[in-house]
Amino acid sequence: MKAFAYVRPADLAGAVEAHGGRPGSAYLAGGTNLVDLMKLGVADPDTVVDVSRLLDGDVARTADGGVRIGAGVRNSDLALHPLVGGRCPVVAQALLSGASAQIRNVATTGGNLLQRTRCPYFQDTAKPCNKRRPGSGCGALDGTTRDHAVLGHSPSCVATHPSDLAVALAALDAEVELLGPADRGTRTVPVGDFIRLPGDRPDRDNLLEPGELLTAVLLPPGAFGVPSRYRKVRDRSSYAFALVSVAAVLELSDGRVRRVALAFGGLAHRPWRALTAEELLLGAEPVPAVVRTAVDAELGRARPLRDNAFKVELALNLACEVLQGLAGAPPA
Ligand code: SF4
């Protein structure tokens, strides 16, 4: 591992100042992604700014009836927290399906969302990768693309975002709170917009400006007390990224859909909010044929790669099962 300077500021403002927005600076919280990448030689910061003792580790109600989750809250603690766990099943289920128990005990809420969008070739420094080294090419396109994107990808990058939590938060219209330097202050951005599609800049995973620090996740009041679910399909039952995952919220009124939110994981460079399917479902009677038609319309936009056409069928079946389960109907 390359030698680096280690800085432990006294407060968050000092941390942002110490980072300075320099390309060679990196924040350290739980370290479950950054330290791995440093060991592999994929990340080589010259300054590591330790914010692990500074980030808010509390979960608290907000004045509008929502919940503010400090970026330093551990994944395990959040999944079981009384303000979130039982009241917002989709978040708890997503968290508990991620990584391993040991990693969840260390990984933070902020770090979960900021983990690199990546594929195995990103971590292999012998292979080209536009995300690791812009302009070098994409090793996946000349290799195996089974785990890769089917939606929203570009010729520059076909990786998928690995976070389960991000998919649940996108379905709930959650926001992230970002702290910048003193002259820029704090701003909020919807999670669904915060994580980027690759375009021609796959080296940028999200909308963080240089030096900005993710300080909290904000769940709106509407995230609570509604039927919601997260399902994940993967190659083994633990410690594996999603081949496909689905986060959904579904509320009915007089047998018709009053509210629906559907997001996919494992299909794109960011959580994929299925707005076309939602539009078709809103106001409809969620019988199996209607649900399947709506989800199919969303997935009709998919552009599978050489090895991953199976993901489209898998996503269709999984979304139908989840939505019909929430609607109280048996799957088709
Ligand atoms: Fe790199 Fe993206 Fe290609 Fe993977 S898919 S090798 S992360 S550019």
Statement: residue 234 has pLDDT above 80: yes
Instruction: Tokens for 169, please give them.
Output: 């938060």
Regarding the beta carbon of 245 and ligand 1, being less than 6 Å apart is answered: no
Regarding the beta carbon of 149 and ligand 1, being less than 6 Å apart is answered: no
Percent of all residues in the chain with a pLDDT value above 90, rounded to a whole number:
96
Q: What is the dihedral of CA 264, 270, 273, 275, to 10 degrees?
A: -130
In angstroms, what is the span from residue 269 Cα to ligand 1's centroid?
10
| Ligand 1 atom index nearest CA of 137 | 8
Instruction: Please report which confidence band the pLDDT of residue 220 belongs to, taking 50, 70 and 90 as the band edges.
Output: very high
Q: Domains plus CATH for the chain?
A: 59-114+163-223 (3.30.465.10)
Residue with tokens 């620090």: 213
Is the model more confident about 121 or about 237?
121
Statement: residue 331 has pLDDT above 80: no
Ligand 1: residue whose CA is nearest its atom 2: 157
Classified as helix, coil or strand, 247 is strand
| Ligand 1 atom index nearest CA of 159 | 5
Regarding the beta carbon of 119 and ligand 1, being less than 6 Å apart is answered: yes
Q: Quote the pLDDT of residue 332.
A: 40
Bridge partners, 118 (sequence order): 160
| Ligand 1 pocket test target in 157, 197, 307 with most atoms within 8 Å of CB | 157
For the chain, the average pLDDT equals: 96
Statement: residue 329 has pLDDT above 90: no
Regarding the beta carbon of 162 and ligand 1, being less than 6 Å apart is answered: no
Statement: residue 25 has pLDDT above 60: yes
Q: Quote the pLDDT of residue 86.
A: 85
Instruction: Please report which confidence band the pLDDT of residue 130 belongs to, taking 50, 70 and 90 as the band edges.
Output: very high
Instruction: Please report which confidence band the pLDDT of residue 85 belongs to, taking 50, 70 and 90 as the band edges.
Output: confident
CB contact set of 203 (below 8 Å; sequence gap of 6+)? 130, 131, 132, 134
Helix orientation angle between 288-299 and 310-326, rounded to the nearest 10 degrees: 140
Q: What is the dihedral of CA 162, 164, 168, 173, to 10 degrees?
A: -30
CA–CA gap between residue 244 and residue 27 (Å, rounded) = 30
| Ligand 1 atom index nearest CA of 156 | 8
In angstroms, what is the span from residue 159 Cα to ligand 1's centroid?
5
Stretch 284-288: mean pLDDT = 97
Percent of all residues in the chain with a pLDDT value above 70, rounded to a whole number:
99
Ligand 1: residue whose CA is nearest its atom 3: 138
| Ligand 1 atom index nearest CA of 121 | 6
Q: 145, 153 in Cβ contact below 8 A? A: no
